[in-house]
Amino acid sequence: MASDTKRRILDAAESLMGDKGFNSTSMRDITAAAKVNLASVNYHFGSKEALLAAVLERRLQPINEMRLKLLDEIELETTDTEPRHHKIVRAFLSPPFDQQQRLDETFLRLLGRLHSETNDDFRQAFMSEYELVFQRFSVALQRSLPHLTNTNLPWRMLFMVGSMAFTMSWGQSMMKREGTDTITSAEVLEELIAFTCAGLAAPLPHTDVSKPPQLQETL
């Protein structure tokens, strides 16, 4: 019974936070949807922030474990048949596409919220799930693309994650648009990998990326 109660709480929180956002979802909303009392939520999770972290861990941990496994395999290879950063990017981007059928629309809506919300609890919960993955992939990419530095590599990884999230959130809608050539999820992944690799390998701009760009007034 305990595991069923915990699952219902996670399902309810995932759905409500995806629809309404973190701040707009109350513990009362979650308990009502899960048909449990507040004591049950506190017993299993302790707080709404911890509940969000558990929702993300349930869905993202298998994906991140696969990413690290693929990266381990790449780092054990002694020969490369293609530029190394292509393999690293593929190891990062392919697991969520492989799991996409298991990531229902409810969780994809939540992911969309995560990447658009300004709420710090959302962002901290998300980043905690990716901390080890970002660390490992940052080291691997910097070795593969030595022209990238500790200043610009985090930005380019941010662009990679943003492109991935936007593609997963909107990809199905794009594929269904009238007049759009039929394209499979596998083909979308290949386009995303090619796009990301080109961006990562691009020469550095002649600007200081450690400072935010200044908006220029247009007349």
Chain segment 148-161, per-residue pLDDT in tens: 999 999 999 989 98
16, 163, 30: which is closest to 97 by C-alpha? 163
Q: State phi, psi for 99 to the nearest 5 degrees.
A: -95, 0
180/34 Cα distance (integer angstroms)? 40
pLDDT in tens, 89-148: 999 999 988 876 566 667 767 776 666 665 676 667 667 778 889 999 999 999 999 999
b vs e for 100-127, b when ≥16 Cβ sit within 10 Å of the residue's Cβ? beebeeebbbbbbbbbebeeeebeebbe
Q: Report long-range pairs for 143-151 (Cβ below 8 Å, ≥24 apart).
A: 144/83, 144/84, 144/85, 144/88, 145/85, 145/200, 145/201, 147/203, 147/204, 148/200, 148/204, 151/209, 151/210
Q: How many residues does this entry show for the chain?
A: 219
90/98 Cα distance (integer angstroms)? 11
Q: Is the pLDDT of residue 207 over 80?
A: no
In contact, 155 and 209? CB cutoff 8 Å: yes
Q: Is the pLDDT of residue 71 over 80?
A: yes
Q: Is the pLDDT of residue 65 over 80?
A: yes
> Domain limits of the chain?
60-201
**Range 203-217 average pLDDT:** 58
State how far the alpha carbon of 175 is from the alpha carbons of 10, 18, 170, in Å.
30, 22, 9
Q: Let me know if domain 60-201 sits in CATH 1.10.357.10.
A: yes
